[in-house]
Structures are given as structure tokens and as C-alpha cells.
Structure 1
Amino acid sequence: MAAQPSGPRVPANPEGLMVLVYVSAATRELTRDELHGMLESARVRNAAAGITGVLLYHRGGFMQALEGPRSQVEALFARIVRDVRHHNLIVAARRPRAKRDFADWSMGFVDLADGDVPEGFSPLLHQPAVREAYAASPDRVHQFLSHYARTAVLA
């Protein structure tokens, strides 16, 4: 007779965690003060909702990863979709997660200077056709964000 587990089974994704990554274009370039104001309010809301993540900004292009409980991430994303500060939004990844990559950040932020964008990734932030191609390869998008999770000094 096979041994039985000694307790209840723990689901593979006990918190119902998910990650959602999108890219979009700002309707106009935002000032540093506007970006920081947006971040401060996002950090407060995200902490209360159990959401973590990172936002990259480069000359009017956004890439953001949101991770947390599915219902909270989806509710936040519904608000983001309606935000008039950006358009051409494309979801690059939306999937369950076993653990968080940005657990210490209610919203990390990286304002990328021209030299800070790895070769080949600038079009991802600025060209809709390239964003759509990356949406078909969420692992590449995750690789890009993970680079900043390991190396960036966050604002």
C-alpha cells in the first residue's frame, strides 16, 4: 500500500498568483513630476491590494509587470486600460505564477535613459508591430523585465 500524504494537498499556486505584463505608448511624454505622482498613488493602492511589480518608462513608452492575486491584478488592469495617459496597449503576458519576481516592490520604477535600454528592446517600447510580436513571446518580455529586477536602482 502506498503512503498517503500526511496533510491536505497544497495547490501548486496557493495564492492564485498571476503576472500580467503590458506595453503601451503615452499619449504625450510625461514629466518626471507627473511620473512620480502617478507612482506614489499606485504604490499606496498596490500595497493595499497585495500587488507588486515594476514599471519601465522610456521616452513615452511604458512596460509594466503586475503580480498578485488574480482578482486584484485583473481589477487594477481594468482601471489601467481606461487610463487616458496612454494608448496602443498590448498585453505581452498574462499567466499564473508560483512566486513573485518583484515581491519587495509595491511598484518599482525605472526611467530608462537612452543608453539604458538593451539593444533590440527599444522598438518593443515604441513600435506597435514589435510589441505585438513580443506578445507572442512572453518569455522574452519576462527576460527583459527580470534584467531590471536584478540590476536597476529603482526610483
Structure 2
Amino acid sequence: MTHGAADQVQKGGQKVAEKTEETTGNVANRIRETSEGLSDQIEEGSKQIGEMVEESGEEASEMLEEGGEETAEMIEEGGAEAGEMVEEGSEETAEMVEEDGDEVGGTFGEGDEETGEMFEDEEDDGGDTREKMGDGGKETVEMTDEETIVERIRQTLSK
């Protein structure tokens, strides 16, 4: 019986080995099929992600382009406003200079008239006043009517 038992153990071992081999083959096939399915799913998912990224990139590009156009318009409008402000400021400055020039011209005109009147009033001074004005007041003398006139002229012109 030992020989018979050994045969049976051997036959049983072969059957177990065959079953194990068959099961291992089945498991390997299932793993392969699952892997192929997963591979297909991963590939499809990657394509979808790629398309989504591409669409998002296009949308982002459009948004950036629109933002750039809006920024350019804002800069253009701001530049135009700044130009107008500079132009208005220049016009106002020109008007102020013109007005001040008229006032200064009027002051000189009045000063010339007063100077002329003073000279007319003091024509009989024998030219002393004109001589003193000619030397720029370098000559030191006592204060006379002529010097008073010269001082008034200077004060008038300094206004």
C-alpha cells in the first residue's frame, strides 16, 4: 500500500500542480485583461485631461488678450487725458504770463510817465538830476530835490 499510496499522492500532487497552473494562468490572464483595460482608461483619461488643459489654455490666452486690449485702451485714455491736462495747463500759464506781462508793461508805462513828469517839473535844475542819474548814484552828495526825484524813480520802477 505504500506504493499505491505514493502513486495516489503523486497523482494528487500532479492534479494540484495542474490546477495551480491553470489558476495561475487564469489569474495572469485576468491581470493582463485588467491591465489592458486600465491602460485604455488611463490613455482615455490622459486625452481628456490634455483636451481640458488645451481648452483652459485657450481661454486663458483669450482672457489675457482681452485684458491686454483693455489695459492698452486705459493707457491710451489716460495718455489723452494727461495730454489735455498739460495742454490746458500750458494755456492757463500762457494766459497768466500774458496778464502779468500786461501788468508789468503798465507799471513800466506808468513809471516812465511819472519820470517824465518829474523831469518836466524840475527842468530848471540845470541838468544836475540827469547827471546824477547818469553816474548811477556813485557820486556822494547831499540829498537834494533831484536825489529825491531819483529815489522816487527807483521806488516806482522797483514796484
Category of TM-score, reference length = shorter chain: under 0.3
Higher strand share: 1
Structure 1 or 2, whichever has the larger Rg, is 2
Higher helix share: 2
Higher relative contact order (CA 8 A, sep 6+): 1
Q: TM-score, normalised by structure 1?
A: 0.22
